[in-house]
């Protein structure tokens, strides 16, 4: 007897529909899995046999052939346990096949028949809806995640017995209530941190505001990445505190951004049972011992790395020179292309990686170079060697390099709070709306940071005074052509924050000031 059910395989952050074909034949014994299954899928036979026995059923004594189509797509993970088991039961006439043509299944089976959660359920739900399937059956822990997608009924069940009861109509199960995405984003977008908690550091807050303003409107019309920032200052000067508050001044996630971000975290297995839709912009802060694969993604079974988990949010790299040189160099492509393409012998996957990079570092090995009250104890040349751990091409891709000085005791003890994040966020949103209107007729471009050389000439004309100022700065700071473009882009954002149509010399001067930590001037 031949029966087919539907499952899904994750490729990148999207899913591919997989048809699970089950055929019972008279000759031979055993279960045969074909269709490029990995080891986890091959081991499903033992889990399925044990689950059958512990739910009062037995595997067919006839030969069972299971084909996972398309056969040239590699199938990975334990999420195929449930669709294979359902297909076998249907072929054995243990369950009704009436609902199978309109249902997708995903879930790992325990030996006692309970369902365990799996990764990537949200992309599967999107694929089920797009393929016209009416329902998706998943473990109960994955139900909230899958219910984000409208147009498909999601049944979160606890065991194989419940799945059988659903298919045979023996029990009534209520579909998981769909998530109201807009209401969820509105009610859960508040942050515990706030810039009002930060005393002093006016110049650094200004730099972070400019960085946040260099993106799109937050209305789901384009990437969220803004200008990248490097903060350099002594230990305890507040670099980490400032970085952690960066998401609070970015516009709230749109529904489209939230869905895309949630898909990435779903594929990576980072969503808990209670989390359906991510409502806050991601903030990822990997340790400086992080490997290339952990940062960029990939691996034997490809998964998104930290740069993709920070998509639509902030990637914070603390103690930047302590990261391995090879680890930092892999950031160069995503900082330019806003995506990651991981190519290996067996696969090639693409992950989005449009984030705002916020990095922090000490000014020297001892941490007190340029400190107002403490003396640097580093030997001659140590500052340059320390800065040399960060390559020039990577520094070129960081738009704003700002020095963080320790806050005076008098400012720390002030009772009056600083400007709150909400006020800064309003200015950021206004600047992003200006950019959205500017690039309305330019396909694929939504931010000042995304402009190419031709767009710089069109949208960022400089008068004679501004050009001469920038040329002098290029010579004095020994900057590259890429740095030239980035200074103009930052100046354009500064002008947008002020509501000015033209870039003036003052805007350029401020943008140039944020390159003061470049290799040509720092430590001399």
230 three-class SS: strand
Residue 500 predicted with pLDDT over 60? yes
* Euclidean distance between CA atoms 499 and 448, whole angstroms: 14
pLDDT top residue among 407 and 21: 21
Q: Distance between CA 241 and CA 227 in Å, rounded?
A: 19
Q: Quick one: pLDDT band at residue 393, thresholds 50, 70, 90? A: confident
pLDDT band, residue 517 (cuts 50/70/90): low
- The pLDDT value given to residue 218: 42
For residue 516, what pLDDT is reported? 65
**Residue 67: beta bridge partners?**
21, 34
Report residue 292 CA to chain centroid gap.
16
pLDDT classification of 222: cutoffs 50, 70, 90: very low
Confidence label for 216 from pLDDT (cuts 50, 70 and 90): very low
Largest CA distance in the chain: 88
Q: Tens digits of per-residue pLDDT, 260-315?
A: 999 999 999 888 766 678 888 999 999 999 999 999 998 888 889 999 999 999 99
The size of the chain, in residues, is 524
The set of residues, in sequence order, having a beta carbon less than 8 Å from that of 250 and lying 6+ positions away, is 212, 215, 218, 224, 226, 281, 313, 314, 356, 425, 428
Mean pLDDT of 56-71: 90
Residue 82 confidence (pLDDT)? 97
pLDDT in tens, 354-374: 999 999 999 999 999 888 888
- Order of strands, sheet of 14-25, starting from the edge strand that comes earlier in the sequence: 31-34, 63-69, 14-25, 2-11, 103-105, 135-139, 153-157
What pLDDT, in 10s, does the model give residues 100-152? 999 999 999 999 999 999 999 999 999 999 999 999 999 999 999 999 999 99
Residue-level pLDDT at 346: 72
pLDDT surpassing 70 at residue 221: no
Q: Which pLDDT score, from 0 to 100, does residue 449 have?
A: 79
Q: For residues 396 and 482, is the Cβ–Cβ distance under 8 A?
A: yes
**Could you report the per-residue pLDDT of 138-190, keeping only the tens digit for each?**
999 999 999 999 999 999 999 999 999 999 999 999 999 887 778 777 776 67
pLDDT of 217: 38
Most confident among 52-66, 283-297, 370-384 (mean pLDDT): 283-297
State both tokens at 302: 């490809």
Please report the pLDDT score of residue 411 as a whole number: 67
Q: Is the pLDDT of residue 515 over 90?
A: no
For the chain, what is the mean pLDDT?
88
CA neighbor of 353 nearest in space, from 394, 323, 309, 395: 309
Work out the average pLDDT over 448-453: 82
Among residues 7, 61, 67, 5, the alpha carbon closest in space to that of 34 is found at: 67
Report pLDDT for 348: 84
pTM, 2 dp? 0.89
Strand (E) or helix (H) holding 391: none
pLDDT at residue 219, rounded to an integer: 41
519 pLDDT higher than 90: no
Q: What is the DSSP letter of 152?
A: S
């Amino acid at each position: 007897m031949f029966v087919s059910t539907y499952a899904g395989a994750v490729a990148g952050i999207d899913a591919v529909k997989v048809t699970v074909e089950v055929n019972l034949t008279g000759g031979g014994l055993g279960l045969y899995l074909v269709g490029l299954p990995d080891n986890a899928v091959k081991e499903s036979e033992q889990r399925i046999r044990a689950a059958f026995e512990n739910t009062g059923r037995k595997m067919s004594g006839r030969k069972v052939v299971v084909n996972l189509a398309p056969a040239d797509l590699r199938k990975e993970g334990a999420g195929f346990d449930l669709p294979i088991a359902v297909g076998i039961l249907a072929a054995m006439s243990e369950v009704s096949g009436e609902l199978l043509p309109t249902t997708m299944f995903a879930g790992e089976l325990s030996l006692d028949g309970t369902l365990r959660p799996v990764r990537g359920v949200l992309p599967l739900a999107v694929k089920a809806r797009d393929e016209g399937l009416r329902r998706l059956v998943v473990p109960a822990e994955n139900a909230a995640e899958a219910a984000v997608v409208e147009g498909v009924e999601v049944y979160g069940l606890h065991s194989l017995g419940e799945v059988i009861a659903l298919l045979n109509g023996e029990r009534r199960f209520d579909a998981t209530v769909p998530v109201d995405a807009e209401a969820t984003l509105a009610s859960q977008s508040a942050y515990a941190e706030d810039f009002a908690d930060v005393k002093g550091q006016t110049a650094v807050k200004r730099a972070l505001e400019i960085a946040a303003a260099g993106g799109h409107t937050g209305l789901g019309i384009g990437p969220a990445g803004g200008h990248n920032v490097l903060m350099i200052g002594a230990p305890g000067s507040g670099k980490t505190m400032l970085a952690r508050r960066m998401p609070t001044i970015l516009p709230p996630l749109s529904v489209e951004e939230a869905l895309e971000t949630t898909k990435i975290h779903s594929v990576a297995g980072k969503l808990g049972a209670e989390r359906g839709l991510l409502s806050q912009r991601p903030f990822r802060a990997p340790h400086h011992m992080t490997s290339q694969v952990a940062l960029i993604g990939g691996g034997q079974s490809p998964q998104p790395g930290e740069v993709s988990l920070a998509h639509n949010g902030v990637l914070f790299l603390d103690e930047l020179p302590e990261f391995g040189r090879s680890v930092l160099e892999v950031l160069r492509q995503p900082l330019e292309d806003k995506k990651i393409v991981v190519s290996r012998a067996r696969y090639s996957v693409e992950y989005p990686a449009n984030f705002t990079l916020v990095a922090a570092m000490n000014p020297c090995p001892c941490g007190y170079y340029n400190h107002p009250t403490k003396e640097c104890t580093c030997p001659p040349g140590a500052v340059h060697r320390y800065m040399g751990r960060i390559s020039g091409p990577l520094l070129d891709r960081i738009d704003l390099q700002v020095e963080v000085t320790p806050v005076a005791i008098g400012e720390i003890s002030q009772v009056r709070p600083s400007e709150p994040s909400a006020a800064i966020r309003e200015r950021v949103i206004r600047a992003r709306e200006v950019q959205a209107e500017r690039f309305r007729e330019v396909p694929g471009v939504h931010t000042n940071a995304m402009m190419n050389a031709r767009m710089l000439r069109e949208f960022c004309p400089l008068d004679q005074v501004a050009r001469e100022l920038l040329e002098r700065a290029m010579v004095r700071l020994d900057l590259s052509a890429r740095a030239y473009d980035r200074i103009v882009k930052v100046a354009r954002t500064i002008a947008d924050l002020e509501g000015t149509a033209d870039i003036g010399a003052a805007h350029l001067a401020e943008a140039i000031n944020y390159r003061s930590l470049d290799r040509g001037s720092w430590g001399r």
